[in-house]
Amino acid sequence: MLELDTVVDHSVEVLQDKIDFYNQDKFVKCPYHPSGFTGTWNFTSHRAIPEVLLGFIQRHFGHYRITRIKLDDINNIMNELWEGPGSLSKIFLLENDMRIAGKDVRITAMDLAKVKVEEEVKVVEKKQTGMFDSLFDSGR
């Protein structure tokens, strides 16, 4: 049986690894990567938001589904916090602080239903792809 004092929280190391990864020169010096972004955030679609920012945005606004958050609100908070290249580590640290403080992300029944439907669609697509693959492989 595992004793409580032997359980190690690796979240600090994981966070530091994430920060180190995104602070590599190849990302920070690339203006097309979120870590190297030098401009002003002006998202015109929720789909245009880089994935590395989603966790922070979800925690900050408390919504699982990003589409429930107004783009103006997202742009405002990102521009308020963003200081140029390398700011991604600041975003990660703020997200972690909110997680430690217990800031919740609300998931509604509708959110869960949508996720379930999306997963079911992926399963059907995978089965269909497999069905077609077997048709093409039968001649070998």
Residues of the chain with pLDDT under 70: 1-9, 129-140
Residue 91 backbone phi and psi in degrees, to 5: -65, -45
Helix axes 71-81, 51-61, angle to 10 degrees: 100
Number of domains making up the chain: 2
* Judgement on whether residues 18 and 82 belong to the same structural domain of the protein: yes
Q: List the beta bridge partners of residue 63.
A: 106
- Chain segment 20-36, per-residue pLDDT in tens: 999 999 999 999 999 99
pLDDT for 124 equals: 79
Could you tell me where the DSSP H helices lie in 5-108? 11-22, 25-28, 51-61, 71-81, 88-100
* Judgement on whether residues 70 and 125 belong to the same structural domain of the protein: no
* Judgement on whether residues 25 and 57 belong to the same structural domain of the protein: yes
**Residue 1: inside a domain:** no
pLDDT for 123 equals: 80
- Helix (H/G/I), strand (E/B), else coil: 106: strand
Domain holding 131, by residue range, is 108-140
